[in-house]
Structure 1
Amino acid sequence: MANTTGINRAQFLAGALALGTAGALLPSGQAAAEAQAAATGPRGLRRHGVVYTVGAGETPATAWSPCRMRADLRAIRDELHADTVEVTGDGVDRLTATAARAAELGLHIWLQPTLADVPERDILEHLAETGRFAERLRRQGASVDLSVGCEFWLFVPGIVPGATVLDRVENLLNGAFDPVGTQRRLDAFTKKAAALGRSVFHGSLGYAAAQDDEVDWNLFDIVGIDYYSYFRQPADHVRELHRYQRWGKPVAVTEFGTCAYKGAEKTAGMGWNVVDHDKSPEEIKGHPVRSEHTQAAYVVDLLEVFESMGLYGAMAFEFVTPDAPHRAHDPRHDLDMASYALTRTVEDRPFDPGSPWHWEPKEAFHALARRYGHRARVMRRRCSSGPK
């Protein structure tokens, strides 16, 4: 299938309301060593990861590129010290090339195609092609889980009324939908996607649901949740997350994080909604105060909760958001404040859509790198001291 673009999760969270090739894979024996480490390691998360979104970008300058992807994945492994990457977005070629490179680097892969605002048959075909590639990776020794998608009510037309993501969000906010019919249609599509996923992929199957979604988790091997709650006490997070463990299956937090301004952590996943997209150039609404510390503290606090519960894995949202640049000396246009990215995008020529850019680590990046790096060192010691 040719590359098909749509609104991906990163674009939506960054402000959409305004609107492959496989090479050498895992070294021989790595999968066995990983399984041994998981079985003998200390209590905590099995997978420490980050979301990496592939997509067409808002401009050619911010679009996915093979060269940038390869450098980013190496940084995810060697600088962030993540052992897992959630490869998500649309375009089978982009998804598979990124997953193949992640496998070459020895990363565990949560492969999650997310195609939006196209007919259901196209979404399912996109899933099938991606899933078949995931199965080829798995058979060659890669460590990979397949997610059949993300928050179907948002991305798949026909579940909630509305032809586009924007229409569906508006109808949900206005109450212009039938809850019973919506749930029935969501259940039907989820069942169809799960069956298709099983038919092409024979490893562990998952799905990334919104926190309030009602999902029949009997269809999946892994319970996946996009988690953006705020509580002052860790025990309240534990209590909320515990309900997902009642299925007796591994629980993966498929997204978590917040934006880089004071109070963003209290917005329940709506921190991105401080950008006025009707302005040109886009600008920040109100007077939020930039605070990378807010973002860093939130992700570390949640990571400690996930570790304490021994969840299957957690993927911080997200590694980079190229279409939300940081403008250090212009707070009104510092779109990075409304980004969940662990890195800030810095343009060579601010406000030029064709400008080259690079990313720099934010406080949240360094905070997670310390935690992920410590865990990696502990696991290596466990492996090296195990049976010879």
Structure 2
Amino acid sequence: MTGTSRGRFLGWGAALGGGLMLPTTRAAAFMGTAERPRGLSYRSVVYEVGEGDTPATAWNRHRMRADLRAIRNDLHATAVKVTGDGVDRLTATAAEAAERGLAVWLEPTLGGVPEDDILDHLAETGRFAERLRRQGVDTHLSVGCEFLIFLPGIVPGDDILERIENLLAGHFDPVEAARRVHDFTRRAAAVARSVFRGPLTYAASDDEEVDWDLFDIVGLDYYGYHRTHAGHVRDLARHIRPGKPLSVQEFGCCTFEGAPREGGMGWFAVDHRADPPAIKGDLRRSERTQAAYVTDVVAACEALGLYAAHAFTFVSPDSPHRPDDPRHDLDMASYALVKPIEARPGTPASGWHWEPKAAFHALARAYRQCAAHM
């Protein structure tokens, strides 16, 4: 639910002097010399630990363990970004990932509650991250994701859907919003530093202005649309800061023709107010489109020698694939690499399993081949 397409309405960053538009000299140097970057340090996927819309789709320990085995053994990821809310779910998943030999990136995203509660949630997660780090686990901590929509009271709305609709409509004060986000980011970084001694970052939207001096790693949620590999390279390169690694905290697209053009707003293809939720318009499912996009972005990240790339996302249990009912094939508007299949379509309580999409296989090949060439 993030991405560069929101740059069209994130004027709040420009109100304080423009978005993060950085020079491309480092990328130009890379492309103009015989010695090229050695590729990504971390090839990763996002794993969300939410409560789910129903008990059947909620996080559970048994399914999480099986998923992490697939991430390590079949996707050939070297890291996993564990994100969501609920300290117990975050920490249990991170511990299992460490047991599987994966590097751990923790990113708590509690939202819609008082700021002090968000910071307490961050501190508790950060303390666990520090325990992992002291045990020798390769651990990173992100203080959160795109605070503009997660913090309460900045943009009107009872939930993320309403807040994004109000963003699109311009129903917020961009100067005040930018001030509050900047202030909270400083507070979050200070809280994280007080409990965690490892590498620290934040997942920013494409045009968000962030004081990166607060962090060790520049973090970017990337959903740019370009027809060529060179276009992605140029777009990503403008976020590179001298002496500071860049991690793509999210990248991906949905599973329909034209989805890359929609960027981080592809999930708006679902009418969530319908009962049951339904796909809008006349979209055509295309796993090939999704697979081509994720491999294009990974190739650009590898070419630039970026620090990390985290594919968004492994699975979205509440977006089932219904091949015989395109109107309710919610997986079309999902960024997930695997598709949930219900035992009885339309009945989540009947149970479900997932099957890999073309994007899963394509990303697995890319991760395996790039690692082999290191």
> Is this a same-fold pair by TM over 0.5?
yes
Matched, 1:296 2:329: no
Query: Would you say the 8 A contact 1:157–1:164 is kept in 2?
Result: no
Q: 2:304 aligns with which of 305, 309, 312?
A: 309
TM-score computed with the length of structure 2 as normaliser: 0.88
Question: Could you tell me which residue of structure 2 aligns to residue 92 of structure 1?
Answer: 87
Establish whether residue 195 from structure 1 lines up as the match of residue 190 from structure 2: yes
Inter-partner Cα distance in structure 2 for 1:240 and 1:248: 19
Match of 1:46 among 41, 48, 53: 41
Equivalenced residue count is 341
Unaligned runs of 5+ in 2: 3-35
Letter aligned with residue 81 of structure 2: E
CA contact (8 A) 1:48 1:314 kept: yes
Percent identity over paired residues: 64
Structure 2 counterpart of 1:171, one-letter code: N
Task: Work out whether residues 112 and 149 of structure 1, in 8 Å CA contact, stay in contact via their aligned partners in 2.
Answer: yes
What is the Cα-based RMSD across aligned positions, in Å? 1.5
Query: Does the Cα contact within 8 Å between 2:39 and 2:370 map onto a contact in 1?
Result: no
Offset from partner CA, 1:202-239 (integer Å, 9 cap, x none): 00000001111000000000111000010112222222
Letter in 2 for 1:375: C
Q: Which amino acid aligns with 1:317?
A: F
For the pair 1:204 / 2:223, whether they are aligned, the reply is no
Q: Distance in 1 between matches of 2:318 and 2:161?
A: 18
Q: What does residue 184 of structure 1 align with?
A: 179
Unaligned runs of 5+ in 1: 1-7, 10-40, 380-388
Give the SS at the match of 1:147.
Answer: strand
1:134 aligns with 2:129: yes
**Tell me, what secondary structure is at the counterpart of 1:169?**
helix
Aligned-partner Cα distance in 1 for 2:293–2:328: 24
Instruction: Tell me by how many angstroms 1:42 deviates.
Output: 6.8
Distance 1:227 1:77, change over 3 A: same
Q: Counterpart in 1 of 2:65?
A: 70
1:375 aligns with 2:370: yes
Once the two structures are TM-superposed, the CA of residue 314 in structure 1 deviates from its matched residue by 0.3
CA distance in 1 between counterparts of 2:175 and 2:76 reads 44
Moved more, 155-164 or 169-178: 155-164
Contact 1:217 1:247 in 2 (8 A): no
Distance in 2 (alpha carbons) for counterparts of 1:275 and 1:184? 32
SS at match of 2:349: coil
Q: Which residue of 2 aligns with 1:215?
A: 210
Find the aligned partners of 2:255 and 2:171 in 1 and give their Cα distance: 33
Q: 2:275 aligns with which of 280, 285, 289?
A: 280
- Structure 1 residue 172: deviation in Å? 1.4
3-state secondary structure, aligned to 1:358: strand
**Structure 1 residue aligned with 2:33:** none
Q: Secondary structure of the residue that 2:144 maps to in structure 1? A: strand
Instruction: Report the residue type matching 2:117 in the other structure.
Output: D
In 2: Cα distance, 1:125 partner to 1:158 partner: 18
Task: Give the distance between the partners of 1:366 and 1:179, measured in 2 at CA.
Answer: 42
2:218 is paired with a residue whose SS is strand
C-alpha distance in 1, partners of 2:154/2:246? 25
Query: What corresponds to 2:103 in structure 1?
Result: 108
Q: TM-score, normalised by structure 1?
A: 0.85
Listed one character per residue, the Cα deviations across residues 160-186 of structure 1 (whole Å, up to 9, x for unaligned) are 344432342232112122211111111
* Higher RCO (CA-CA < 8 Å; seq separation 6+): 2
For the residues of structure 2 that align with 1:104 and 1:278, how far apart are their CA atoms?
41
The residue type equivalent to 1:123 in the other structure is I
Alpha-carbon distance in structure 2 between the residues aligned to 1:340 and 1:179? 29
